[in-house]
Structure 1
Amino acid sequence: MAILKSTLTLLIVVLMPSLLLGAVQQHPLLMEGKQALYQRVLSKPGAHFYEEIQKAKSKPATPFSVFYVYNRKTKNGATWLQLGHNRHGELAGWMPETETIPWNQGLTVAFRDPVGNDRVLLFNEKDNLKALIDSNDKEKYRQLYQAAESGELDDNSPVIAIQPRTHIDILKDFYLVPIRDHEDIYIGNEQARILQVSSVPLLPAVESKKADVAPKRAKASDKKIKPFRSAVVFVIDSTLSMDPYIDRTREAVRKIYDTITKEDLTGDVSFGLIAFRDNPQAVPDLEYLTQTYVDLQQGQDAAGFFNQVSSLKAATISSRDFNEDSFAGVNEAIAGIDWQGQDARYVVLITDAGPREAGDPLSGTGMSSASLRQLAQDKGIALSVLHLLTPSIMADHSKAEETYRDLSYYPGIGSFYFGVETGNVERFGRVLDALATQITEQVKLAAMAAAGKNMALERQAKNNQAEQEKETDQLAQFQAKVAKLGYALRMRYLQQNDKQQIPNVFNAWLVDRDINKPRRQTLDVRVLLTRDQLSDLHGIMHQVLITAEEGLLSPRTFLHDLKSLAATIARDPEQLGTTTRVTGARQGNLADMGFMREYIEDLPYTGEVMNLSLENWQDWPAREQISFINRLEEKINYYQVLHDHTDLWVSLDGGPISGDSVFPIALEMLP
């Protein structure tokens, strides 16, 4: 008996490593035609895990969580997937395939605001959409669009859904539109992409019975729609010689407060003010880089605003050169002001100097105009620039104008830049008065429309906007853009109780450009990352750049590491750190492993890095190479700022913001 026990013990000892090794060697299924990319899926809202196929549910899955596919089985005509939390064999359970979305790349799209433009049509088959585009049949498109818009699509229609008529804030009503397949096509002379997508809201649609009850309850309790609120934060240069513009800004705000009081809109329009100078480490007597004089709570009424701003004076000494850190002031307005509850959000930069951009050793932000603009758009803020073109032999106004135009660009409308010739104070005052008056008028129109009054005024405002767009005068064009943005924001506000939702469509085809206006993009391409993944990306990119600057990476390895990083983000962010040499990946980067092409091919959209070859890099002059590296550093700084803005992140399980919270990052902000 003792011999038998000894034999069994020895057998277990011998077999145990093999058993353990067998468990470790379990891998997910590969994507078709791939050697290194595994099949992945997203769990739909409401999905559950099962310990065994068609047995009792074990636990719910967090919506839009990513899982690896380890096995597929069909039972009673239904396909089931065995899913794992990672690619290392940690299994989660079984799930019906119908409760998942294929997620073989991390790209998703978000619908742009449709106000003033056609909404996106979703088709049942690629061939139907492609035939419509190829034939350029405007009449057929019009008929399909009208049927979809009126909700009168018949069973034989190739259109199965239409983009909601209202703007849906992805941070308030989170949704995903993952890209499953694509095909390049031309609409006229514009290159476009036909995309196969799934369209899934995080929360289920409100049932019709409940939707019918809601208005009655609201009426019974006499519940009113919340007032439309606008906020304007002035970011004003307070360096030498700016006193006349500071005084004129005070005057403009005082006029608006008088109007607000007369119209009984006190509290519905708030003003804030932030002053900026320049890096005090370079010139200590400047005293500060930025200073918030008035926040939006203090600026709800005239007394609060002017009590706070009374001490604002221009500096008595000059900054180091003609550039000043206006970006630090704008960043403080975006990050330091509490914008919660504001339906329309404006930041107005007033300066006569060029900005300190990323790469400038005196920059307080390390951010570019593109990064700062994206951060503002992430928070729903429109940036305007009143650029005082004061005479100076030192000023490079043309370069500053180019940067400020880029900073103040708003998608679908244009740049909110206004250059004040010679810095004329009277001209500056007229522009400021016009801007502030328009914003206040928007609040008045929204209040009337919400009360069901004077919708004719809203229509007249729309007509006035159309007339202004025809004007060639700079101020009229500027006002037309403000009016267009204001109209879009009011429509969002007035339709907030209209429970529009992204259509819940598992398989549809759409095109990423407006069929009637091919130059207009209808979608924003994004990559869904967790907060932890963004932190990893920040660290690895920083490490790649530092190592390259120290001369420890050859140009080839530098580019291959960057391309590996970009491709990994688009394909499988869970693998960050395992596909770059600089992080000590055992097999090197994707080029070393021979998988670079496999990762990049089939992606419908690629960023700047993935399209850059070693030959192109070596052909670039030193200035262009430095500019490229500066752009990467700007993105690294953006990642840090975005990571720290916890109000932008979405917790899919309803819990507090954590490393698993997600944000759909614009593709152009990735490497």
Structure 2
Amino acid sequence: MNQFLIIFCLFILSGHSIRAADRSVSNLATKPLLMAGKRNLYQRVLTLPNAKLYPHQKLSKDDPIEIPPFSPYYVYQRVNDNAQQEWLQIGLGRKGDIVGWISSDKTLEWNHGLTLSFRKPASGKDRVLLFRDKESIKEIAETYDQQRYEQLYSAATKGKSIKDSPVAAIQPLKDIDIRKHFYLLPIHDYEEIYLKDSTARLLKVSSVSLEASKQKNSDTLKKGANTLSKANIVFVIDSTLSMGPYIQRTQEAVRKIYDSLNQQSLLGKVQFGLIAFRDNPKAAPQIDYLTRRYVSLKQGKNAASFMKSVESLKPALFSSKDFVEDSYAGVLSALNVMDWDPDSARFIVLITDAGARGEDDPLASTGIDATGLNYAAQKKNTAIFVLHLLTDDPMADHELATRQYRQLSQYPNIGSLYYAVPTGDVHEFGQVLDSLAGQITRQITQSDHVQNTQLQVSKNPQLAGLQAKIEKLGHALGMRYLTNSDNEKAPDVFNAWLLDRTFQNPEKPAVDVRVLLTRDQLSDLYSVLKKVLEIAEQGMISPNTFLGELKSLAATITRDPNQLGGTTATTSGRGISLSELGFVREYIEGLPYTGEVMNLSLQDWQSWSVSQQTAFLQRLEEKIAYYQALHDHVDLWISLTGGAMDGDSVFPVPLDMLP
């Protein structure tokens, strides 16, 4: 019987995606690969269970990093190694956020967001059969061979094996509510056919079932505790000639944090360390040292010992050889020589106004580049922030330095923890440093149930973006110490073909079509659709533009929800929609299903009566209300990493509830 059943279970995974990348920042692909025959749609994949990420496109001495299943990535390169194994270079975003390489057999093609859920069986004869190949199910469907279908169906339900049976599995007899027990049936291919007198679709899906992994501290997890309990923060400061004001301001920021912790009786929960770096003394002997640890984390448990240890830190009296420093040496020193607490979340804050010496620089001491150093940090569960001071020195190559530091500060499923301080403004630098350290400390106080104030989101867009990432980062690092994946079992994954209509009653759907969205994407959808509808109701756009906006929005949801907000004229800031660019048709070509609005033409709209148009607008308003309710119903959202619900948690939204 087991060979015929697909068993879907709620899964709570404790693996965490960690980012690595290709070896050279300068050689990174700038755009993902396009889908075949498309001008504006890029290749994407979902990771399978037990997928591993490598820094290179081959197995190497570097330990791989496990990635949570169903993590979406863009594909930047496809390369075959000497064994003709295909490797994919993957990234989180569409603008060069490379994370590393993965074997293609550990991925699923994910060129749209459509997935299926089984309907509750109404009788004993309408469970869905999954076939091993398209030809077998197509022949039975097109000839409407009821006898053959009944034979295969009966054998599958009884768990009997028929010689050369094309059936791979059957829908479980017991109803599995996808809202309570999440499973995934992503659609990869389809073909329209006739089933008796009705139009039907053959769908190629991947079936993935996962068993719940056992976890430590399950009671704690059920309460949703995923905040930080302790933190180690190590400042890696450029101590060359120009850095005096920033060293002083860093001391001031640390003093403020100590005062805050002391007031809440939490001294010792956050420990600070400090490493200074300059440049290779071989190039400029007068600069004295390459790296030096001024404050260990043990010394940084309280303000007095930190300030006493850092008293002797002064900027160099002489300039280095050029306007690049060996900042990678400072970060590597922090990773390797600092006395990290194994039970604390780890943060490095790199502060510099200069670019870094790359691996090919003869004066570089590490022989490592940004991506290799990022990989080393992720292996040690350490997040790297970079505060890059864009001073006005004519010798500075800030463009190159920005690329280096954005790559160095990448963090899995969050993005780059990089902040560019315009003109090196000391005041703004101080604000960012206060916000960064203060926000981490605030998360510590939350875990200790200390009453604290609401996070004040900055009016500075760049700082507000960093604050949002820090909030996510706190959840991610907090969960790292609450879970265990030792007992996780490898799931069953296979491809199969099925009919989207009930064989005995072709008028009746056998499955529901859904779009997998994150909670943040649903929030974006709510905001965009609400704004488009408000503008339309105010008469500020023509019916043609209104329909174009809706079609742009609907096409984006099903193809690439990450672009929400950037493909409609009312929200993109460019005044041009996907429809006006002529890409809507490209987006919907190849999709087995589309929402209501995609089949609506201007002629249809104009031919409708006022009551019909009003009813359509009311349906859109009902969908907006549904998005709000779904967003607020926290129990429905599924964390793919086993943590508490956050903006990256997912829910398969029914297609008929989308525009």
What TM-score do the two structures reach when normalised by structure 2?
Answer: 0.52
Q: Equivalent residues in 2 for 1:443-592 (5 A)?
A: 504-586=492-574, 588-592=576-580
Deviation track 1:599-646 (CA, whole Å, cap 9, x = no partner) reads 011111111111111111112122211211111011001100110000
Q: Equivalent residues in 2 for 1:150-229 (5 A)?
A: 150-154=158-162, 156-203=164-211
Q: What is the percentage of aligned positions where both structures have the same residue?
A: 53
SS of 1:170's equivalent? coil
Shift of 1:54: 1.4
Check conservation: 2:53, 2:102, Cα contact below 8 A: yes
2:100 to 93, 101, 104: 93
SS of 1:592's equivalent? coil
**Alignment match, 1:655:** 643
**Alignment match, 2:611:** 623
**Alignment match, 1:117:** 124
**Alignment match, 1:142:** 150
Check conservation: 1:161, 1:503, Cα contact below 8 A: no
Going from structure 1 to structure 2, the CA distance change for 1:117 and 1:524 (only over 3 Å counts) comes to farther
Going from structure 1 to structure 2, the CA distance change for 1:176 and 1:57 (only over 3 Å counts) comes to farther
SS of 2:42's equivalent? coil
**Alignment match, 1:44:** 48
Which amino acid in 1 is paired with 2:644? P
Q: Equivalent residues in 2 for 1:390-409 (5 A)?
A: none
SS of 1:593's equivalent? coil
Check conservation: 1:577, 1:585, Cα contact below 8 A: no
Which amino acid in 1 is paired with 2:42? Y
Which amino acid in 2 is paired with 1:47? A
2:34 to 30, 33, 50: 30
Going from structure 1 to structure 2, the CA distance change for 1:114 and 1:645 (only over 3 Å counts) comes to same
**Alignment match, 2:392:** none
**Alignment match, 1:62:** 68
- Partners of 1:534 and 1:23 in 2: CA distance: 35
**Alignment match, 1:275:** none
**Alignment match, 2:596:** 608
- Partners of 1:160 and 1:24 in 2: CA distance: 41
Going from structure 1 to structure 2, the CA distance change for 1:145 and 1:505 (only over 3 Å counts) comes to farther
Deviation track 1:414-445 (CA, whole Å, cap 9, x = no partner) reads xxxxxxxxxxxxxxxxxxxxxxxxxxxxxxxx
Which amino acid in 1 is paired with 2:90? L
- Partners of 1:204 and 1:78 in 2: CA distance: 31
Going from structure 1 to structure 2, the CA distance change for 1:156 and 1:172 (only over 3 Å counts) comes to same
Deviation track 1:527-559 (CA, whole Å, cap 9, x = no partner) reads 100000000000000110111122221211111
Check conservation: 2:49, 2:491, Cα contact below 8 A: no
Q: Equivalent residues in 2 for 1:64-83 (5 A)?
A: 64-75=70-81, 76-83=83-90
- Partners of 2:493 and 2:504 in 1: CA distance: 24
**Alignment match, 2:455:** none
Which amino acid in 1 is paired with 2:178? I
Shift of 1:85: 0.5
Going from structure 1 to structure 2, the CA distance change for 1:502 and 1:23 (only over 3 Å counts) comes to closer
Check conservation: 1:153, 1:160, Cα contact below 8 A: no
Deviation track 1:323-366 (CA, whole Å, cap 9, x = no partner) reads xxxxxxxxxxxxxxxxxxxxxxxxxxxxxxxxxxxxxxxxxxxx
SS of 1:153's equivalent? coil
- Partners of 2:74 and 2:604 in 1: CA distance: 37
- Partners of 1:68 and 1:657 in 2: CA distance: 24
Which amino acid in 2 is paired with 1:51? P
- Partners of 1:73 and 1:657 in 2: CA distance: 36
Which amino acid in 1 is paired with 2:53? F
Shift of 1:25: 6.8
Q: Equivalent residues in 2 for 1:221-260 (5 A)?
A: none
- Partners of 1:503 and 1:517 in 2: CA distance: 33
Going from structure 1 to structure 2, the CA distance change for 1:557 and 1:57 (only over 3 Å counts) comes to farther
- Partners of 2:142 and 2:29 in 1: CA distance: 49
Going from structure 1 to structure 2, the CA distance change for 1:507 and 1:621 (only over 3 Å counts) comes to same
Shift of 1:117: 3.4
SS of 1:183's equivalent? strand
SS of 1:590's equivalent? coil
Going from structure 1 to structure 2, the CA distance change for 1:34 and 1:587 (only over 3 Å counts) comes to farther
Which range moves more in the overlay, 608-617 or 583-592? 583-592
SS of 2:130's equivalent? strand
**Alignment match, 1:348:** none
CA RMSD between the two structures:
2.4
- Partners of 1:599 and 1:587 in 2: CA distance: 19
- Partners of 1:84 and 1:146 in 2: CA distance: 46
- Partners of 2:53 and 2:202 in 1: CA distance: 33
Check conservation: 1:153, 1:159, Cα contact below 8 A: no
- Partners of 1:23 and 1:534 in 2: CA distance: 35
Q: Equivalent residues in 2 for 1:4-15 (5 A)?
A: none
- Partners of 1:505 and 1:650 in 2: CA distance: 20
Shift of 1:502: 14
Which amino acid in 1 is paired with 2:44? R
- Partners of 2:141 and 2:656 in 1: CA distance: 27
- Partners of 2:577 and 2:504 in 1: CA distance: 44
Shift of 1:565: 0.2
- Where is the helix percentage greater, Structure 1 or Structure 2? 1
**Alignment match, 1:593:** 581
- Partners of 1:617 and 1:113 in 2: CA distance: 35
Shift of 1:133: 1.0
Deviation track 1:142-163 (CA, whole Å, cap 9, x = no partner) reads 1111222233335622111211
- Partners of 1:25 and 1:46 in 2: CA distance: 26
- Partners of 1:74 and 1:503 in 2: CA distance: 26
Going from structure 1 to structure 2, the CA distance change for 1:47 and 1:503 (only over 3 Å counts) comes to closer
Check conservation: 2:52, 2:102, Cα contact below 8 A: yes
- Partners of 2:166 and 2:491 in 1: CA distance: 16
SS of 2:496's equivalent? strand
Going from structure 1 to structure 2, the CA distance change for 1:58 and 1:585 (only over 3 Å counts) comes to farther
SS of 1:200's equivalent? strand
Give 5+ residue unaligned stretches, structure 1.
1-19, 207-500
Shift of 1:110: 0.4
1:664 to 645, 652, 658: 652
2:622 to 634, 639, 663: 634
Which amino acid in 1 is paired with 2:78? R
Check conservation: 1:529, 1:573, Cα contact below 8 A: yes
Shift of 1:77: 2.8
Which amino acid in 1 is paired with 2:164? N
Deviation track 1:369-416 (CA, whole Å, cap 9, x = no partner) reads xxxxxxxxxxxxxxxxxxxxxxxxxxxxxxxxxxxxxxxxxxxxxxxx
Which amino acid in 2 is paired with 1:521? P
- Partners of 1:613 and 1:199 in 2: CA distance: 36
Going from structure 1 to structure 2, the CA distance change for 1:527 and 1:149 (only over 3 Å counts) comes to same
